[in-house]
Amino acid sequence: MIPMKPTAITALVTSLCLALLSPAPPAQASPGYTRAELQRDVDALRQRGVIGIQARVTSGRRTWTATSGLADVTTGRPVPAEGHYRVASYTKTFVATVVLQLVGEGRLGLDDAVEQHLPGLLPDRGITVRHLLQHTSGLPEYRAALPGRDRAGFEEHRFDHYEPRQLVALALARPPTSRPGEAWSYSNTGYVVAGLVIQAVTGHPWAHEVRQRIIRPLGLTGTSVPGDDPRLPEPHARAYQQWTLGGELSDTTEFNPSSSDAAGQVISTTRDLDRFFRALMSGRLLRPAELAEMLRTRPADDGLEYGLGLYRKPLTCGGYYWDHGGNTTGTISRGGVSPDGEHGIALAYTGAHGNSLEDIAALAAASDRIVDRLFCEQRRD
């Protein structure tokens, strides 16, 4: 299935999260954020309404992990510390990084019109590569036209295959959200098009370039781009989706991820995702000029700032961190990295559930609080 885009409901949830998060300062228990505190926090998150959670914290040369809950509700198997999971929209940061590498090589420009590389694909010739990565293209969202957005639809269509141009065509049947560059509007479609731009420039699919330019050089042995393969590599926790508030959970582990394409297809681990983001911030993947372009933000939704494939998120103690986040059917991933790349956290949880929007908001706030505590404690250390 596809990475989830913010909706009116999720906007309400986010506002409730901020209300819950902002008044609560990070704990003063000890200098730095400790292994014991991480375990306590993931246990608390599980008790708020998830089936299983895994987390990894890196601070300088120190690394520690924590897990809580179940990987499989049928067998009672515990969550693996380095389980594979679908990172969903974190894929966008990988794709944006490849595009910026190509910019640094002089093979395309951020302000190139998409028409220059993909003639005739888009009706508006004013859309640029920058617009795609920044969510300012005005391209409508294709996901609303896909089946599988309830339990019955998911079961019927979970193994359907989609071509990227097919996804773009679904989007273009809808009106644009704005003129190019005028407004910020989250668009999975824009990143599908960015994947096609990578292929047009390099002659290779975007997934090949991500493997060659990021996965292999960084030794991300737990990271893959599955294509049509519906399976997760072992070990992994099974994914569970609650389709309606208060409803039952269903197993959504296996499905064809081609409907996500360059907007959300990557599978990874907390170790690999943390390593990728720390390498990105420390300048191992992009030259200073291209990294500066990535980190140049504009206002997004919910009081956040968005660059090129990255959100800048505020801390309750002042300052900010970088992240993207990813939601897909049955799995939610969160994390972040400090601006200097010295501190990072990655967490993933399955089976988020609740009986009300307030329950879901409290769950989201609790996961945000874990990230906030890490960075605020390290700033005081």
Write down the domain spans for the chain: 8-380
pLDDT along the chain (381 residues), means of 10: 41 36 35 86 93 95 96 98 97 99 99 98 98 99 91 96 98 97 98 99 99 99 98 98 93 98 99 98 98 98 95 95 95 95 95 86 83 84 59
| Architecture of the CATH domain 8-380 | 3-Layer(aba) Sandwich (3.40)
The pLDDT assigned to 381 comes to: 59
Catalytic pick among 15, 22, 30, 89? 89
Query: For residues 133 and 97, what is the distance between their CA atoms, to the nearest angstrom?
Result: 10
What is the C-alpha to C-alpha distance for residues 79 and 127, in angstroms, rounded to an integer?
44
In 3D, which of 176, 350, 347, 154 has the Cα closest to residue 269? 347
- The predicted structure's pLDDT at residue 115: 98
Identify whether the C-beta of residue 167 lies closer than 8 Å to the C-beta of residue 216. Answer: no
Q: How far apart are CA 304 and CA 294, in angstroms?
A: 15
Q: Which two tokens stand for residue 86?
A: 């679908």
Q: What pLDDT does 361 receive?
A: 78
Active site residue 89: yes
Q: pTM of the full predicted structure?
A: 0.91
* Residue 97, pLDDT score: 99
- Count CB atoms within 10 A of the CB of residue 381: 12
Using CA atoms, how far apart are residues 167 and 339, in angstroms rounded to an integer?
34
CA angle 148, 205, 197 (to 5 degrees): 90
